[in-house]
Amino acid sequence: MAPAVELFSKCHALGLEIMTYRLSLNKVQRNQLLKVDHVMAISKNFFLQPEELKRPFSRKTYAHNPFDGWVSSEAEWLNPRRPGDLKEAFNISSLRSDINWPSSGAAAGFKDAHISFFLRCKELSLRILRVMAHSLDLDPEVFLSTHRLMGSDESLTTLRTLYYPPVNSEKVKEGQVRCGEHSDYGSITLVFQGQEGLQVLNRSGEYISVPVIPGAVLVNIADLMQRWTGDLFISAVHRVLLPPAGDCSARQSLAFFLHPDDEAMITCIDGSNKYPPIKSHDYSIAQGNKIY
Ligand SMILES: O=C(O)CCC(=O)C(=O)O
Ligand SMILES: [Fe+2]
């Protein structure tokens, strides 16, 4: 059995004790992914600019997708029971050439770096979907037919670059964290951590810290994949807490949220009605609206 198939099969057989999987890549893939550092460096240049230079790219200024664009600190709460998350983000879902992405000054190269990273993640995620289907003894193409429109206005698949600024402990509100507890809504998410901080909830109800392993990509199962597979894969609840007291460092990460195409109907693959059929776009928009 190929190692990646075995990895997913084992996770499934073990009852998904840790619901996030690490996928180690071969040398060629690793070289491609070294560009992670480049994408993070360009993102950081964008985030470190004064607010007035970032505001023109704010979320909601893009007609094609209400989630695309810059999200300022405390404007999003992934756990609505906590105060706003101490992070900034920039979301990209459409690769249309007429979109007004940051391009001048410190943000030169932002658009090209992110678009090419989006395309690399797209290719990798299709391969992962094939492996996941294989690990469940399903037709390897079963998930692919509904992931054909990534990068167009008919798919919510999103590349998100995240910047967690240094924390000023005197200004932190009660219960405030860098990224509140949540699961992602689509099919899978690829996560690239620049620094540690991400924690994933296991079946025993404990949060486990996810180490940073050079050359490894983290694959998080998201909600629609759980519904689709009737709980054979379980979506991973995760969070990023504040750094330890006295740690004034910033943190960066990149997340590629894979979503089935907008019109795809997600129906349990075993033919059961464990979860009623739902349109991918309807589910994700409803979930997305809860966090702002
Ligand atoms: O920063 C991270 O490591 C994870 C971010 C995340 O979970 C999210 O934006 O959905
Ligand atoms: Fe997440």
Q: Which parts of the chain are beta strand (E)?
A: 20-24, 69-71, 88-92, 158-164, 179-182, 188-193, 198-201, 207-209, 216-221, 238-240, 251-258, 265-266, 278-279
Q: What is the pLDDT of residue 14?
A: 40
Cβ 253 under 6 angstroms from ligand 1 = yes
Cβ 255 under 6 angstroms from ligand 1 = yes
Q: Which parts of 84-214 are beta strand (E)?
A: 88-92, 158-164, 179-182, 188-193, 198-201, 207-209
Q: What is the pLDDT of residue 57?
A: 95
Cβ 88 under 6 angstroms from ligand 1 = no
Cβ 184 under 6 angstroms from ligand 1 = yes
The Å distance, Cα 255 to ligand 1 centre, comes to 6
Q: Looking at the CA of 163, name the nearest ligand.
A: 1
Cβ 33 under 6 angstroms from ligand 1 = no
Q: What is the pLDDT of residue 259?
A: 97
Task: State which ligand 1 atom lies nearest to the alpha carbon of 184.
Answer: 10
**Side chain identity at residue 42, one-letter code:** I
Q: What is the pLDDT of residue 203?
A: 80
Contact status, residue 196 vs residue 209, Cβ threshold 8 Å = yes
Q: How many CB atoms lie within 10 A of CB 108?
A: 14
- DSSP-based helix, strand, coil % in the chain, nearest 5: 30, 20, 50
Chain-wide mean pLDDT for the chain?
A: 88
Q: Which of 78, 89, 264 is nearest to 187 (CA)?
A: 264
Domains assigned to the chain = 2-291 (2.60.120.330)
Q: Looking at the CA of 86, name the nearest ligand.
A: 1
CA distance 132 to 123: 15
Q: What is the pLDDT of residue 98?
A: 84
Is the per-residue pLDDT at 207 higher than 90? yes
Please write the tens of the pLDDT for every residue from 70-96. Answer: 999 999 999 999 999 999 999 999 998
What dihedral angle (degrees, nearest 10) is formed by the CA atoms of 207, 234, 121, 71? -60
Q: Which pTM does this prediction carry?
A: 0.92
Q: Compute CA distances 230 → 91, 185, 203, 263, whole Å.
A: 29, 15, 17, 20
CA distance 69 to 101: 8
Protein residue closest via CA to atom 3 of ligand 1:
198
CA distance 250 to 252: 7
Q: What is the pLDDT of residue 1?
A: 60
